[in-house]
Amino acid sequence: MPAFRIDGYVIVSADGMLADASGVMPEALKFEGDKQFFTAALDHADLIVHGRHSHEGQPNSPQRKRIVVTRKVERIADDPTSPKTTLWNPSGAPFEAACDYAGVDAGTIAIIGGPKVFDTFMDRYDTFWLSQAPKVRLPDGEPVFSGVPRHTPQEILSSHGLKSGQSQLLDANNGVIVTPWQRRQTSQTS
72 binds ligand NAP (CB under 6 A): yes
- Bridge partners for 7 per DSSP: 110, 127
For residue 119, the minimal CB distance to ligand NAP (Å) is 8
Contact pick of 49, 111, 112, 148 for ligand NAP (by CB under 6 A): 112
Could you tell me where the DSSP H helices lie in 62-186?
A: 95-102, 115-120, 153-159
Interaction of residue 67 with ligand NAP, rule CB under 6 A: no
Site for ligand NAP in 117-146 (CB under 6 A): 117, 142
Nearby residues of 148 by Cβ (< 8 Å), 6 or more positions away: 16, 17, 156
Q: Are 14 and 137 in contact (CB under 8 A)?
A: yes
| Angstrom distances, CA of residue 100 to CA of 5, 34, 106, 185 | 15, 31, 9, 27
The amino acid that residue 123 corresponds to is: D
| Part of the chain binding ligand NAP (CB under 6 A), chosen from 39-47, 95-103, 109-117, 172-180 | 109-117
Applying CB under 6 A, does 116 fall inside the site for ligand NAP? yes
Q: Which of 35, 90, 160, 179 binds ligand NAP (CB under 6 A)?
A: 90
φ and ψ of 100, to 5 deg: -60, -45
Task: Report the residue from 39, 51, 101, 151 that binds ligand NAP according to the rule CB under 6 A.
Answer: 51
At residue 51's C-alpha, the angle toward residues 101 and 22, to 5°, is: 170
* Euclidean distance between CA atoms 48 and 72, whole angstroms: 19
Closer by beta carbon to ligand NAP, 30 or else 184: 30
Task: Tell me how far apart the alpha carbons of residues 83 and 81 are, in angstroms, rounded to a whole number.
Answer: 7
Q: Does 24 bind ligand NAP (CB under 6 A)?
A: yes
Q: Assess 99 for contact with ligand NAP (CB under 6 A).
A: no
Using CB under 6 A as the binding rule, whether residue 81 contacts ligand NAP is answered as: no
187 binding ligand NAP? (CB under 6 A): no
Tell me which residues touch ligand NAP (CB under 6 A): 10-11, 18-19, 23-25, 29, 50-54, 69-72, 89-91, 112-117, 142
